[in-house]
């Protein structure tokens, strides 16, 4: 018998042995389901994980995780577990469950099951070793799958929220006939700056605006790129025949802009939004008068 | 392609209807100046709504037209620059300083009338 053939034979034997062992393991886990599950749930509470959930909820969740866990060990396929962990993440992320908690409970389950194996095979060290050889890689892969599923779900939620923020945060509003305001809130990155400009220019066209007040009170910081972009937006608006008034420059931003050396000569700036709107109204020929004053005169 | 120049009272309106070659632009410049002198116009509107590209030569020619016509005591307004064109121009540094701009023909006429009223 050649050596390669022997090793192939050997491998076959190990594979079949390890599946056999896994089957034995699975039947052990099925037999002791109630007890192991309970122990696990207790360990979760002890470790103060999943504090956002009630004890009953933890127990129900633990039951289904346990069953899925055993099922995965039995079949050796991870698809079902993947979709289950995605589903689980979807349910528990909105409740404020953290990554360390999810990883923690899966690792706890692994420990609980390993302990039960130690207890069962303590008399037979070779058997214990072989059982652990079969159990550990599968268990680690399960822990991995669940953790990755959770993180992916979180990332998906974050991406979704970012998009929502992006869409919500750039309204172009008309306050008077031919007067638009564009309140900018939050961080401006180049992508958002571009989007802002596009929206503003389109807004000027559709509303036939003559004056635009850009309010940047809600902008915490500004770098050279964004400041330059702001200047470009002002100039592009002028090409469409609209005057731009920038309001709400914080002292920090004002200082940064001067330090960077952006040419603000072409920019029309007013201290706050109220002042900006007042100046815009003057430019448009509006005059706001108190009703009481008109009655008197 | 020649750009039609219409007389509307004291103002002239030139509507560019398709992309112009450099020669066409120069021809437009000459024709506008001649007509301003001939009709003793107070203002000129150049409508560029149909243009989806504005290069440096077109920008410079429009600025030249404005400056020359100003020397005749008349005002020029460029109207109808598309939002995308405006942004592209600014990014290329073609900001047309000193040139009056307006959203569309109506706005341009209003602007010229305002200027004329201020002068008299």
Summarize pLDDT for A210-258 with one digit per residue, the tens.
999 999 988 888 888 888 888 889 999 999 999 999 999 888 888 888 8
Whole-model pTM: value is 0.63
Residues B83-99, mean pLDDT to the nearest whole number: 90
Q: Testing the interface with A: which of B66, B87, B101 to mutate, by most A Cβ within 10 A?
A: B87
Residue in A201, A232, A235 nearest the CB of B83: A201
Please, how many CA atoms are within 13 Å of residue A38, restricted to the half-sphere of its CB? 4
Closest by Cα among A186, A249, A187 to A213:
A249
B chain contacts of residue A208, beta-carbon cutoff 8 Å: 103-104, 107
**Contact flag B86-A239 (C-beta cutoff 8 Å):** yes
CB contact under 8 A, B103 and A236: no
Cα(B46)–Cα(B16) distance, integer angstroms? 7
CATH architecture of A8-166: Orthogonal Bundle (1.10)
Phi and psi torsions of B14, nearest 5° = -110, 115
Work out the number of other CB atoms within 10 angstroms of the CB of residue A100. 10
pLDDT at A1: 45
* DSSP at A95: G
* Domains of chain B by residue range: 5-119
Q: Which tens digits make up the pLDDT trace of A25-39?
A: 888 888 888 888 888
B5-119, CATH topology level? Transcription Regulator spoIIAA (3.30.750)
Shortest CB distance from A232 goes to which of B90, B104, B108? B90
DSSP string of A120-140, one letter each residue: HTTT-HHHHHHHHHHHHHHHH
Q: Which residues of B touch A239 (CB under 8 A)?
A: 78, 81, 85-86, 89-90, 95-96, 101
pLDDT band at A162 (very low <50, low <70, confident <90, very high): confident
So what's the architecture of A173-296 in CATH? 2-Layer Sandwich (3.30)
Residue A232 with chain B: CB contacts under 8 Å: 87, 90-91
Distances (CA, A) of A26 to A30, A49, A69, A81, A196: 6, 26, 10, 16, 58
Task: Tell me if ipTM is over 0.85.
Answer: no
Kindly state the helix (H) or strand (E) to which residue A268 belongs, with its residue range.
strand A268-270
Q: Closest partner residue to B90 among A210, A235, A241, by Cβ?
A: A235
Mean pLDDT of A267-286: 91
Q: Of A205, A211, A178, which is closest to residue B83 (Cα–Cα)?
A: A205
Once rounded to an integer, what is the mean pLDDT over residues B49-75?
Answer: 91
* Residue B32: per-residue pLDDT: 93
**Segment of A76-90, A121-135, B40-54 carrying the highest mean pLDDT:** B40-54
Question: Quick one: how far is CA B65 from the chain centroid?
Answer: 7
CA distance A271 to chain B (A): 26
Would you list the domain boundaries of chain A? 8-166, 173-296
In angstroms, the CA A175 to CA B64 distance is 37
The Cβ of residue B106 has, within 10 Å, a number of other Cβ atoms equal to 11
* A236 with B107: Cβ contact below 8 A: no
| CB-based burial, A165-191: b 16+ in 10 Å, e otherwise | eeeebbebeeeeebbbbbbbbeebeee
With cut-offs at 50, 70 and 90, classify the pLDDT of residue A14: low
pLDDT higher at B81 or A267: B81
pLDDT at A174 over 70: yes
Which structure tokens are listed for B13? 């309106």
Helix (H, G, I), strand (E, B) or coil at A282: helix
């Amino acid at each position: 018998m050649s050596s390669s053939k022997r090793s192939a034979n050997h491998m076959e034997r190990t594979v079949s042995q390890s599946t056999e062992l896994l089957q034995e393991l699975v039947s052990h886990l099925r037999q002791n389901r109630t007890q192991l599950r309970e122990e696990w749930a207790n360990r979760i509470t002890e470790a103060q994980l999943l504090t956002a959930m009630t004890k009953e909820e933890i127990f129900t969740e633990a039951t289904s995780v346990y069953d899925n866990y055993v099922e995965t060990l039995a079949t050796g396929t991870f698809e079902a577990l993947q979709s289950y962990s995605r589903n689980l993440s979807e349910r528990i992320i909105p409740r404020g469950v953290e990554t360390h908690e999810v990883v923690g409970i899966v690792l706890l389950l692994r420990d609980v099951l390993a302990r039960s194996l130690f207890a069962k095979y303590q008399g037979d060290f070779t058997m214990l070793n072989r059982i652990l050889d079969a159990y550990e890689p599968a268990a680690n892969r399960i822990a991995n799958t669940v953790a990755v599923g959770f993180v992916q779900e979180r990332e998906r939620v974050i991406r979704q929220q970012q998009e929502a923020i992006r869409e919500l945060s750039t309204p172009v509003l008309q306050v008077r006939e031919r007067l638009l305001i564009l309140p900018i809130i939050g961080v401006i990155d180049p992508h958002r700056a571009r989007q802002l400009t596009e929206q503003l220019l389109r807004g000027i066209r559709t509303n036939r605006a003559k004056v635009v007040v850009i309010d940047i009170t809600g902008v915490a910081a500004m770098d050279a790129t964004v400041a330059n972009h702001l200047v470009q937006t002002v100039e592009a608006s002028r090409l469409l025949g609209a005057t731009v008034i920038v309001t709400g420059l914080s002292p920090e931003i004002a200082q940064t802009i001067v330090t960077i050396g952006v040419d603000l000569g072409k920019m029309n700036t007013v201290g706050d939004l109220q002042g900006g709107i007042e100046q815009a109204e003057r430019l448009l020929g509006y005059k706001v008068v108190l009703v009481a004053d008109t009655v008197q005169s | 392609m020649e750009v039609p120049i219409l007389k509307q009272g004291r103002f002239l309106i030139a509507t560019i209807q398709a992309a112009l070659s450099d020669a066409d632009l120069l021809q437009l410049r000459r024709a506008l100046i001649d007509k301003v002198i001939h009709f003793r116009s107070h203002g000129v509107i150049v409508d560029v709504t149909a243009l989806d590209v504005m290069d440096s030569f077109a920008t410079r020619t429009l600025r030249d037209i404005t400056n020359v016509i100003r020397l005749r005591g008349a005002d020029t307004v460029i109207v109808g620059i598309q939002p995308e064109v405006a942004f592209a121009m600014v990014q290329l540094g073609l900001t047309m300083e000193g040139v009056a701009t307006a959203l569309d023909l109506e706005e341009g006429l209003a602007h010229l009338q305002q200027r004329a009223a201020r002068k008299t």
